[in-house]
């Protein structure tokens, strides 16, 4: 079975740091502090910084192109 694709933030492209909880030893899995988004048959992740910066838009379920 091939290795899972590395996790990256869907907004900024950042990848998890080795010191983030849940990142070490689990390729393809986002750290516990990252948010998970599902929709249109796909799964995406957001880093904590992007999640905090766009919390209102996320809660309002606005499309990404409306986010600041």
Over range 39-68, report the average pLDDT. Answer: 80
Q: Which two tokens stand for residue 9?
A: 């933030």
pLDDT in tens, 28-45: 788 888 998 887 888 889
Label residues 2-37 b or e (16+ Cβ within 10 Å = b). eeeeebebbbeebebeeebeebeeeeeebbeebbee
Tokens of 22: 């849940």
pLDDT higher than 90, residue 58: no
User: Is the separation of the CB atoms in 64 and 28 below 8 Å?
Assistant: no
Residues recorded for the chain: 68
């Amino acid at each position: 079975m091939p290795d899972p694709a590395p996790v990256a933030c869907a907004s900024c492209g950042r990848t998890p740091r080795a010191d983030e909880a849940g990142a070490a030893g689990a390729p393809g899995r986002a750290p516990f502090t990252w948010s998970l988004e599902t929709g249109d048959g796909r799964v995406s992740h957001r880093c904590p910084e992007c999640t905090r910066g766009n919390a209102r838009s996320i809660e309002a379920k606005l499309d990404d192109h409306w986010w600041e």
